A and B are shown apart, each in its own frame.
Chain A
Amino acid sequence: NAGVTQTPKFRVLKTGQSMTLLCAQDMNHEYMYWYRQDPGMGLRLIHYSVGEGTTAKGEVPDGYNVSRLKKQNFLLGLESAAPSQTSVYFCASRGGTDTQYFGPGTRLTVL
């Protein structure tokens, strides 16, 4: 039981490039979330999903897209990366309680 995994762990992009971050969970959780963490800002919600095939915007969705084609996977896409998207990205999932379980994070640098 791996819990929540994220790939890649690190990535460096140039401005304007695109990439996809993958989150996978093996806990059969319905809900999945993408957050970003910036120094002094805590965790801010980007997008979330309440089930397979559904997605919705969080508090900082601009510049990101997501897809949940399979229940266990939640993908976060950056179509045209900007330096302001340099951050650490965390995926989380939850089942029937409010407790969310987090992945190890992806550190993204946009030059």
Chain B
Amino acid sequence: DQQVKQNSPSLSVQEGRISILNCDYTNSMFDYFLWYKKYPAEGPTFLISISSIKDKNEDGRFTVFLNKSAKHLSLHIVPSQPGDSAVYFCAASGPPRGSTLGRLYFGRGTQLTVWP
């Protein structure tokens, strides 16, 4: 059962415009959310995160928005650049932590292509 869903497998955006990647989750216990970026033949790299006590977190061109009532988060990239072309994974975690995983539940990813 997929607890984190990225319903758009791909997104194509022109350079300079905004990219919006979406993610939905089903588990109301999730309280921490992350976005990872992955280039071909490389491992995922951490991009930005947000705790459930916030509804927005910003880091340069990247902003993550969290709507807890809708169980939805989104990643905004402004302005988009060709180097942003990659697969973006949404991930979530929640209690219990401690001796259990603190595991991350991943979505299936969205391939972002930014064209000149």
Contacts and interface: CB of A to CB of B under 8 A. Distances in A.
Interface of A: 4, 31, 33, 40-45, 48, 50, 56, 58, 90, 94, 98-105
Q: In the A-B complex, list the 7 residue pairs whose CB atoms are closest, starting with the nearest.
A: A102-B43, A42-B108, A43-B106, A98-B93, A42-B106, A102-B44, A98-B32
Given A102-B45, A105-B41, A48 B89 contact: no
A99 B42 contact: no
A67 B84 CA distance: 36
Contact of A94 (B49, B102, B107, B109): B102
B104 interface: yes
Interface string B96-114: 0101111110111100000
A54 B89 CA distance: 28
Main secondary structure of the interface of B (DSSP, over half): loop
Interface residues of B, number: 24
Contacts of B101: 31, 45, 48, 50, 56
Contacts of B43: 4, 90, 102-105
Interface of B: 9, 32, 34, 36, 41-46, 49, 89, 93, 97, 99-104, 106-109
A42 B34 contact: no
Q: Which of A33, A43, A94, A102 has the most CB of B within 10 A?
A: A43
A41 B108 contact: yes
A44 B104 CA distance: 10
A34 B91 CA distance: 16
Given A4-B43, A42-B89, A43-B89, A99 B106 contact: no
12 contacts: A33-B103, A42-B109, A50-B100, A50-B101, A90-B43, A98-B97, A98-B102, A100-B104, A102-B44, A103-B43, A104-B42, A104-B43
